[in-house]
Amino acid sequence: GAGVSQSPSNKVTEKGKDVELRCDPISGHTALYWYRQSLGQGLEFLIYFQGNSAPDKSGLPSDRFSAERTGGSVSTLTIQRTQQEDSAVYLCASSLRPGSNYEQYFGPGTRLTVT
């Protein structure tokens, strides 16, 4: 079946502009996660959704970052007034349920470049 999909695959934007990144989880997966991988850095957690609510948004680096999920499916990560340090690969993952018994399946990522 279809895996996790993300769009766009690449995004180049000017500093100060807003961007929206989209994630389509695997159908039926209730848990959805956003991660970020900066150049030369490891992966870091941003936010997690269970259904449409976000029990843990502790990883969002600033109030310029926000995310929402609608219909228990598609999620959008929005970055306002982008800065060069926002350049990274943004990864989405989904799992059937939250909790350590369930594997996370990763999307291909969106490579964001802020010029």
Partner 1 sequence: KNEVEQSPQNLTAQEGEFITINCSYSVGISALHWLQQHPGGGIVSLFMLSSGKKKHGRLIATINIQEKHSSLHITASHPRDSAVYICAVRYNTDKLIFGTGTRLQVFP
Contact residues: partner 1, CB under 8 A: 31, 33, 35, 42-45, 48, 50, 55-56, 58-59, 91, 93, 98-101, 103-109
CB of 43 to partner 1, least distance (A): 4
Q: At 50, list the tokens.
A: 């269970």
Q: At 27, list the tokens.
A: 């159908």
Q: Which is nearer to partner 1, 93 or 114 (CB)?
A: 93
CB of 17 to partner 1, least distance (A): 25
Strand 5-7 versus strand 110-114 pairing type = unpaired
CB of 15 to partner 1, least distance (A): 25
Q: Which is nearer to partner 1, 42 or 71 (CB)?
A: 42
Q: Would you call 52 helix, strand, or coil by DSSP?
A: coil
CA dihedral 37, 20, 11, 82 (to 10 degrees): -70
In 3D, which of 48, 18, 17 has the Cα closest to residue 32?
Answer: 48
Q: Which is nearer to partner 1, 48 or 65 (CB)?
A: 48
